[in-house]
Structure formats: C-alpha cells, structure tokens
Structure 1
Amino acid sequence: MAFVDEVCAEINALRVDQSSGQPARHQPITLLWAIGRAAGGQPRLVPWSDARPALRRLLKDHGRPGSDPAPEYPFVALSRSRLWELDGAAGEVPVARGSGVRRWLDEHSPRGGLEGRLYELMATNLVARRRVVDTLLHRFFDGAEPTLLLGAVHLAAPIFDGFGLVPGIAVGQVFPNRRALFDARVHRQLQAGICGTQERGAESIVVSGGYEDDEDHGDVIIYTGQGGRDERTGQQVKDQELTLGNAALVTSLTTGTPIRVVRGANGEPAHSPVSGLRYDGLFRVEDYWCDHGQAGHLVWRYRLVQIADTQLPDQPLRAMLPVPEGEETPSRLEATIRRIVRSTAVADYVKRIHDFTCQVCGIRLATPTGAYAEAAHIRALGRPHSGPDVAANVLCLCPNHHTLFDFGMLSIADDRSITDESTGVSLGPLREKPAHQIDPAHLAYHRAHHAQLRRDN
C-alpha cells in the first residue's frame, strides 16, 4: 500500500485557495469526479470540451457557497501535482489564474484525467479507492455532509456504520497484516483483539492463538476476553475486568448484533489460514461467563456461534400433542456450518401447553397470524452449559421476560416463586400446567450461574 500512502500525501499537499478561511473545493471535487469515472470503467482522459459542463455543474452544486464554479482552474492546476495528467497540450501550461486559462484550454482542447497508475488503482482496488476518497473528504470536506456529492460522482456506497458485513469485502478474504485489515475496515484496531465500545457493542474480534484459554471449534468459538497479560511474555498474570472490549462483547449479547470474526495464522490449525489473517464472516455472542483460566487468574469467556445462512425446516406437530422425547444431548446436523439442532417439537409443545401465555406475567400476545410466545431454555444448550433440549428445561415466556430471564434478571426458586433480581421484588409464582413438569435441577443451575456472574461483576 506504499503507493496509496504517496497518493494520500500528495492530496494533503495540494495547494488550494484559502482566502475565505476554508480550503476551496475545486480540485478535490474534480479528483472525486475522475475517481468516480475510474470506478465506473469510463475512459481515463476526457476532452476539455466534455469535462467542462460536467465539472461546472458539480462545482456549482457542491462547491463552497459564493465561490465561482470555474472548472478551468482545477482542470489545469491539478497538472502541477502527480495526481493529474494533461494530454495534447502544446507548450507550457499556464498558471491557473485569470481569463487566459479558459482561452488556452479552448485553443488547445487538451484531455485531462488521473495519472495512469492512479487511474488503474482507483478502477480495480476498492480498498485503496475508499482510502483515497476518505482522505479527500477529511482534508477538504471536514464537517460537511458529502452524501449528495458522492452520489453525483457515482461514488456513493452502502452506508457502513462499522457493524456487520463490510461493503466490498468477501468472506474468506485473506489480509497480509493488521494494517491491511484496518484499511479495509474489517477490524478497526491495529493491536487490540476486540474492536468496539461498551455503549455500541463489539464490531469485530481477532482469533489468533494469543490467549491460551481460547477454543476454536469452527462454527463455535469460546473466546477469551482482553486484559491481564504480560506484554513481554504473553502470559496471563492478573484477573481480567469487565471493561472496554470485554464489556463491548456483553453489549453485543444484549443487542444481538453480529460480530465479524477474523482468524490469524497462529490460531487453531484446523480452522485458521496458513498465513496472514482471514475474514471468516459473522458470529453472534450467545453467552458469557467468568472462569479461572489455565494460569489460575479470572478471565471472561464468550461463546460465539456462527450465523447460519440456511435454516432447518420446522418439524410438524402431532395432533394430540404427546410429550416429545427431545434430546438429552442435542445432536449436530451438517449444513453449511454445524450448529446445535433445537427440537421444534419441544418448543411448540411447551408453548401450546401454556396456550402461548407467558409463565411469568400471564400475557398472551395476539398477532395477525396467531398468538406469539417464545421457548426459553433454562439451562442453555451450548458449551459450557450443555443443557438438554427437553420440555423439562424449557419455559414459555413473552419476549421481554425471555430476555430478562436469559440475562439472569429473573430467578425462579424451587418453590416456583419468581424474583426480580434488579429490585429484589417478588413477582409471584410461576404459572404452571400439570402436563409440563420443570426439572428443579435446571432452575438451580440457572440461579447459581447468574449469581456467580453478579458476584464477578
């Protein structure tokens, strides 16, 4: 990317009029117009007679208010940089000032456009093009909204707020180093393994074998949070805290926002690239807990599950709703990726037994397509909980109380009394049906697990 660095340095060194207190936009708008032509596969060099009306319109609509929309100035002035080429102009190119410039252009009718190597880069390399455009916007349009301008020069891209898939970047793409990852916006941290904030959640993580407690099973990753390591030896020397990136991953669990996963060459060999860093798509955080790591210190751990691009078909219900057997150890099914197969029959049985009514609040949600409720597993199915997918481990809850229960904000005692853990207030007894018996061992596990999380926090 050395050439891109040179281009960005040349952009930052452009000499433009600043008599108004702000840099003029004639040259950057002309460059953006030419970059848009490269991105669209249009000819590199454009005759002045063709360029003039297009540039005049852009300068009038997007230049600084009150400025003269005179395209002859940037068309000539840019040739003094290494970014622009004028072809077919005999003799010395005039200084870009005064009415003589327009006469000279009309007489010689040169063709103008990006320098050849720069044109090829802008036409073929999306990452480089984005970086050059960002440099232009930062240097000359700081504080302005460039959306309309980018649309006018055909450089508008899908809005990317840092989360989810990165426009123009394919899953499986390999990058040589962290700088390239950063430039491509796949992982916007040059050193940290977690990119994100507690307020917004995590955008991405890097799994590269840096933490001895990491487990990479392909579609499921048990990821160790950041912090507590000796920078020289890489060994865990103190407890981790639920701050910074660690807190960001908890926020992602709360919001359900996907996280980009990048694997490095030093990770689990079966799932890592031979060299460099590979973008491996989107995962969701399904659980988190605090545990003693191999070095004896407390570490935060997160269970991330790859987002499947296919869904398994629902299983039909039996007419008389007999209690389904379920699975003591939920099986795995080979699809595009491996994921835990939840029994649709178990979930539907529990919801129908309770007539889609929340066992906590007694609310039955009616929708245009019928009643709606959610099946909440008391002891989660995935590692490290390994709960069974059976009716005795499932509750019928409304979406709100499902979320609160999953985060441990509701606890259910063996006598089925419900407590709001945020206030300590009793919410009354759990609503039960004789045909649906809950295993108290799963309730005890749920209480103990979340009580430990609260103590660790």
Structure 2
Amino acid sequence: MPDATEGSSSRLMTALRTLHVDRSSGQPARHQPVVLLWAIRRAAAEESRLVPWQNSWRELHAMLKEYGRTGSTAAPEYPFVALHRSPLWELVGVDGAVPQAPGSSLRPWLNAQNPLGGLAEEFYTLLKGNHDLCRQAVTTLHESYFDDYRLELLLLEAGVPLTDFDGYGHPPHVRIGDSFSQRQTLSRARVHRPRQAGICGTGELGAESIVVSGGYEDDEDYGDEIIYTGQGGRDENTKKQYEDQELTLGNAALATSASAGAPVRVIRGAGGDPKFSPETGLRYDGLYRVEEYWSQRGESNFLVWRYRLRAIDARETGAGTSEGRDIAAAINVMSAAPAGNATPGRRETRTQRVIRSTAVADYVKRIHDHSCQVCEMRIETPTGAYSEAAHIRPLGSPHNGPDEIENILCLCPNHHVAFDFGMLTINDDLIVTSHGTDANTYQLRGHPNHPVKKEHLAYHRQIHER
C-alpha cells in the first residue's frame, strides 16, 4: 500500500475513534457514529458521496431508531450538521455560516438550505469499493461506540459481511433471538428481504422467510408450531379478507418449500400473539419446516391458503419423556391398535439437526431436471417438478459426509427411501443393484456437470453390506 494511502487510512481510523460526542450519560452517544455507518455503506456500495439532506433524513432517522442508545432521540439533523466539524464530513451548498448543532432552529435551517452531506472526498475515495478497509472502519466504530452490539450486525448494516449468503437457511452472523427495530434493517441483514411482504421467495425456488405479525385473521401461533395464512386478498386497513387467495407468488413459494422439505426462516413481529412475539420490533426465531399446506374458507368466508410450519428443533415424539415411552410401547404392541388422542396437547422441546445447503441440493436436482437418476421418474406438482436430493455418505456423526454435489444424487421418493435403507447400492461403474424382493440392476444416469465420488459410493456399500 502506498505511503499516501497508509497515511489517509491512519487519519481515517484516528478520526473515527476520536469523534466529539456527548458522554454525559457515561457512555458515548451514537448519533454521529450511526451517520458515519450510513456513509461507509454508501462508499462500500460505490453510491454517490454527497446526498441532499431532504433525501437522506428518513433513512438516517430509521437507523438512529435501530442503533441509537436506549432513550435517545432519533434526530438526524444534529449529527448531519455536527459532523461538519470533523475532518470526516463535508457539507456542500451552504449559504452563510453553519449553525451550531444544538437548538430547535436546526431542522428548519436544513429544510431551507437542503445542503448535501457525506464523507470528505479523501476518505470516500479511500473506502469506495474497498470492503476490507470498510470492515476495518466499521470495526473501529464498533470498538469505540457500539459496546452492546455484535460486530457482525454492524458489518451487515454496512453491506460488508464476512460471509456470503445465498438467501436460504440460517443466515451467517445472525443468531436466533436477534431483534431488529426496523424492517429495512431486517432486509439489509437478509433475514427477511422484503420491506413489506410477509413472504420472501418464489414458486420456482421456494420460500426464504416469513414474518408472523398478526397481519392475517386466520393465523395461529403455538410457538414450535405455526398455522400460517398465505398472502393476498386482504384489506390493509381492516386486516379482513375480501377475496380468495391464489396459489401464486409467496403462496406458491411456501408450497414448493413443503414439497422440497426445505427450511424457512421465521421472524415474529410485535403485532403477533403476545405469548410468543416480541413487545416491540421484530425477532428472528430460527428455521421451521413447512409440513403441509391446504386451502380452506377462513373467518371471512374466502378461500385462504394455510401452511403448517414446525420448528426444526422441536421433537416429533417426545423421546425420553413418559409420553414418548408410551408412544414407543404402543408401536411395539401388535395385537391391539393404539387408542390415539382426540385432543392432542402441545409442548415445547428442543433437538439439533444438520442443516443442508439448499443451493447445493437445488443444483443437483435442476441439472437432472428433477428426473430420478435410477428410474427416470419425474413427478409434477401444482408448483412444478418434485425430486429429492439423497446424500450418498450421510451427513452428521458418525458418517460426517460432505454437503457437496459429489455426495448427492437426484432421486424419486421411492428410490431415495430404498437408497437410505441400503436396498439400493451403487458400484464404482455406476451399476445400481436393487436388493428387494424384485431384485434388479440399473445404470445410474449421470451428467457431465455432476460428478459422483467413488469413495462415497464405497462408504455407502460398506455401511449397508450384507
């Protein structure tokens, strides 16, 4: 790095650490650091350096509500002007002297003058498109002013996360239970990208995420299980349905997720069931699986699409509990059918499961056009073709197979089950042997862009050898 650039970088970090901010509460105020976080994001994205006050204040106001100290006023006019006295900031288009930041006349002055504000040219040029240096700048702000925030969330806000994210599954650098005051912050963190819609996804690829916030009258929330109402046909003011919903857009996305068994992120908003929802803002509550979907007439007598989602970490049978032992005993008694339960209760339980990469599985299924590599079967559903991604060497302990295309096959449901139980094995020459009552052999259909590793096939044969 040239000496001049090193000098600019050093001046930038020093200026970020030594902002003149109010510390009367014992902690540094965040108004100026938040505005600088906004400016760093613009530099990272190579957006314009200077922005008119009237074009920026709403976004700055939202960021101050998200990241400001508890009890502080989200007043972007103060840092927008106060930063002018820092070497980091420029105000352009000012007629006369710039007033002191405190005072009730500041907002009218800004509205009248509408100056452009942004990073000084030296520092903007230094940061523009340089994500490594932008991360360093955000880290400096974090260390100096954001003691109660995780660095990962600030990096996401600045658009310079440490890890890329394809949109499906659990987002990196976000934890279950993380809270967000604003939908736009939730969007930039890619926890839920739409600023308004409750479902993110497409009928072709499935759903990424949903927001449960009491927006639909037919929603039901039981914590580890959610009966979610699809989108469309609702009056935004009364929250009542006025027409039938269709299996399109986000509704089709959730149906695809149900068919594929793919996880969906759930975010709860303050407007939902108070027993399970945050008091304010939005909260990321982890991954759920869409177990089934159907249409029915809702409370307003219009057809709605409904989806049963269950938390991936919720146990199905209560293993280890007295109820779980009763279920196991009933299964083992062949002389009499179990009575069942006409009004089953609910309980909160936890487990851990391996989360697969949706992108890898989708690649394998798409490259084979959802046709089974053993029997060529291609299943059509209302939202498109359905196939299953079968791992040759199983994921998780003790097998610890990789979640990579070389360890995945595209199979129909029948051959997926047969393969998982060892009723199908595959030789190194890709000859498939069926070990069932109707023993047969097949040639595994391959694809030049889908290699299969022989060591995974050998491992599968080994664990199912007879």
Could you tell me the TM-score, scaled by structure 2's length? 0.44
TM-score with structure 1 length normalisation?
0.45
